[in-house]
Protein backbone atom coordinates (compact mmCIF):
# COMPACT_ATOMS: atom_id res chain seq x y z
CA UNK A 1 0.00 0.00 0.00
CA UNK A 2 2.93 2.30 -0.37
CA UNK A 3 2.63 4.91 -3.12
CA UNK A 4 5.39 4.79 -5.74
CA UNK A 5 7.75 7.79 -5.69
CA UNK A 6 6.91 10.58 -8.12
CA UNK A 7 9.27 11.15 -10.99
CA UNK A 8 11.05 14.53 -11.06
CA UNK A 9 9.63 17.11 -13.44
CA UNK A 10 11.90 19.14 -15.67
CA UNK A 11 9.97 22.44 -15.42
CA UNK A 12 10.14 22.81 -11.63
CA UNK A 13 13.10 24.90 -10.51
CA UNK A 14 14.86 24.70 -7.21
CA UNK A 15 13.66 27.29 -4.68
CA UNK A 16 16.15 28.76 -2.22
CA UNK A 17 15.65 27.90 1.43
CA UNK A 18 17.10 31.09 2.98
CA UNK A 19 16.62 34.83 2.45
CA UNK A 20 18.54 36.55 -0.30
CA UNK A 21 19.63 40.17 -0.60
CA UNK A 22 17.94 42.29 -3.25
CA UNK A 23 20.21 43.65 -6.00
CA UNK A 24 21.33 47.21 -5.24
CA UNK A 25 21.26 50.04 -7.78
CA UNK A 26 24.55 51.51 -8.88
CA UNK A 27 25.08 55.08 -7.61
CA UNK A 28 25.32 57.72 -10.32
CA UNK A 29 27.06 61.06 -9.86
CA UNK A 30 24.77 64.01 -9.07
CA UNK A 31 25.28 66.39 -11.97
CA UNK A 32 22.74 68.82 -13.44
CA UNK A 33 19.01 68.73 -12.71
CA UNK A 34 17.50 66.30 -10.21
CA UNK A 35 16.56 62.99 -11.77
CA UNK A 36 12.88 62.18 -12.14
CA UNK A 37 12.22 65.41 -14.05
CA UNK A 38 11.73 65.17 -17.79
CA UNK A 39 13.94 67.30 -19.96
CA UNK A 40 12.38 70.61 -20.88
CA UNK A 41 10.03 70.60 -17.88
CA UNK A 42 10.74 73.44 -15.44
CA UNK A 43 11.46 72.30 -11.91
CA UNK A 44 10.22 75.45 -10.17
CA UNK A 45 6.83 75.40 -8.46
CA UNK A 46 4.32 77.64 -10.18
CA UNK A 47 1.35 79.39 -8.55
CA UNK A 48 -2.05 77.71 -8.64
CA UNK A 49 -3.87 78.87 -11.80
CA UNK A 50 -7.25 78.41 -10.08
CA UNK A 51 -7.06 81.30 -7.63
CA UNK A 52 -9.98 81.95 -5.30
CA UNK A 53 -11.57 85.28 -6.16
CA UNK A 54 -13.97 85.19 -3.19
CA UNK A 55 -17.13 84.64 -5.23
CA UNK A 56 -19.55 81.98 -4.00
CA UNK A 57 -22.92 80.86 -5.38
CA UNK A 58 -25.71 82.22 -3.22
CA UNK A 59 -29.00 81.91 -5.15
CA UNK A 60 -30.02 79.10 -7.52
CA UNK A 61 -32.84 78.63 -9.99
CA UNK A 62 -33.45 75.11 -11.31
CA UNK A 63 -36.05 74.71 -14.07
CA UNK A 64 -37.15 71.35 -15.48
CA UNK A 65 -38.89 71.88 -18.84
CA UNK A 66 -39.24 68.64 -20.80
CA UNK A 67 -39.35 68.98 -24.61
CA UNK A 68 -42.86 67.58 -24.81
CA UNK A 69 -45.72 70.09 -24.38
CA UNK A 70 -47.81 67.40 -22.69
CA UNK A 71 -45.41 67.21 -19.70
CA UNK A 72 -45.80 69.76 -16.89
CA UNK A 73 -42.68 71.88 -16.19
CA UNK A 74 -41.44 72.53 -12.66
CA UNK A 75 -38.95 74.86 -11.00
CA UNK A 76 -37.19 75.43 -7.71
CA UNK A 77 -35.61 78.64 -6.46
CA UNK A 78 -33.51 78.70 -3.31
CA UNK A 79 -30.96 80.91 -1.59
CA UNK A 80 -28.51 80.51 1.27
CA UNK A 81 -30.39 83.21 3.20
CA UNK A 82 -33.29 80.76 3.63
CA UNK A 83 -35.47 81.75 0.66
CA UNK A 84 -36.94 78.65 -1.00
CA UNK A 85 -39.87 78.34 -3.42
CA UNK A 86 -41.20 75.58 -5.71
CA UNK A 87 -43.53 75.83 -8.69
CA UNK A 88 -45.35 73.31 -10.89
CA UNK A 89 -47.02 74.33 -14.16
CA UNK A 90 -46.15 76.85 -16.88
CA UNK A 91 -47.74 79.92 -15.29
CA UNK A 92 -46.35 79.12 -11.84
CA UNK A 93 -42.83 78.56 -13.23
CA UNK A 94 -42.92 81.94 -15.01
CA UNK A 95 -44.02 83.62 -11.78
CA UNK A 96 -41.24 81.85 -9.88
CA UNK A 97 -38.64 83.09 -12.38
CA UNK A 98 -39.87 86.66 -11.81
CA UNK A 99 -39.88 86.17 -8.02
CA UNK A 100 -36.33 84.76 -8.17
CA UNK A 101 -35.13 87.89 -10.00
CA UNK A 102 -36.85 90.11 -7.43
CA UNK A 103 -35.28 88.16 -4.58
CA UNK A 104 -31.81 88.60 -6.09
CA UNK A 105 -32.25 92.37 -5.92
CA UNK A 106 -33.49 92.30 -2.31
CA UNK A 107 -31.45 89.41 -0.80
CA UNK A 108 -29.42 90.52 2.25
CA UNK A 109 -26.53 88.23 1.21
CA UNK A 110 -26.31 89.54 -2.35
CA UNK A 111 -26.96 93.20 -1.53
CA UNK A 112 -25.60 93.97 1.95
CA UNK A 113 -26.55 97.43 3.14
CA UNK A 114 -24.55 98.97 5.92
CA UNK A 115 -25.57 101.98 7.99
CA UNK A 116 -22.51 103.90 6.79
CA UNK A 117 -23.69 103.85 3.19
CA UNK A 118 -27.28 104.85 3.84
CA UNK A 119 -26.40 107.57 6.39
CA UNK A 120 -24.31 109.52 3.89
Point out which residues pair with 86 in neighbouring strands. Answer: 76
pTM above 0.85, yes or no: no
CB 43 within 8 A of CB 33: yes
The residue extents of the domains of the chain are 59-111
How far is 66 from 74, CA to CA, in rounded Å? 9
pLDDT of the chain, 120 residues: tens digit per residue = 577 777 666 666 667 677 777 777 766 655 655 555 566 666 666 666 667 677 778 889 999 998 888 999 999 999 998 999 999 999 999 999 999 999 988 888 887 775 444 544
Amino acid sequence: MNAPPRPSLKSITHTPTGPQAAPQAVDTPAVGEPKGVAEGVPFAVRPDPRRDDGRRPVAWLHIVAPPSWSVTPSARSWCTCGYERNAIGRAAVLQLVTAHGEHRTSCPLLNPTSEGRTAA
